[in-house]
């Protein structure tokens, strides 16, 4: 991502904003930001989540983030209020660094769409 200065600037702004709101220590990492997006998408933020719930929240976020890329499509909300997505096409085999870039790009798109940056 460092090859695109504008994207790096947008990513840094997101990290700075979320860190200021949700952490009093080190800057939030990619996984923490994905988790926060999952909490936002679930809409039940003011409660404790189990370890399984936290994994599911990250899955919700990843599905939501990759939806504009055509990998997932929103399907329904279950009786507990959890969104479900269906896989439209398989994700490409990416190296870890490429995965990070894709997710950061998707997060920038998410926050741009939400008019937060």
Which tens digit of pLDDT belongs to each residue from 14-47?
999 999 999 988 999 999 999 999 999 999 877 8
User: What per-residue confidence (pLDDT) applies to 72?
Assistant: 98
- Taking only the tens place, the pLDDT of each residue in 49-66 is 999 999 999 999 999 999
Contacts of 108 by beta carbon, 8 Å cutoff, 6+ apart = 7, 10, 11, 14, 117
Going from N- to C-terminal start, the domains of the chain cover 5-113
């Amino acid at each position: 991502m460092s090859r695109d200065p504008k994207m790096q600037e947008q990513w840094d702004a997101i990290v700075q904003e979320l860190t200021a709101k949700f952490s009093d220590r080190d800057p939030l990492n990619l996984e923490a930001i994905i988790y926060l997006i999952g909490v936002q998408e679930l809409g039940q933020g003011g409660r404790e989540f189990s370890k399984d719930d936290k994994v599911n929240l990250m899955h919700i976020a990843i599905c939501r983030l990759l939806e504009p890329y055509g990998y997932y499509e929103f399907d329904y909300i279950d009786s507990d209020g959890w969104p479900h997505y269906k896989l439209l096409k398989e994700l490409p085999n990416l190296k870890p660094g490429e995965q990070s870039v894709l997710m950061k790009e998707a997060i920038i798109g998410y926050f741009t769409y939400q008019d937060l940056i």
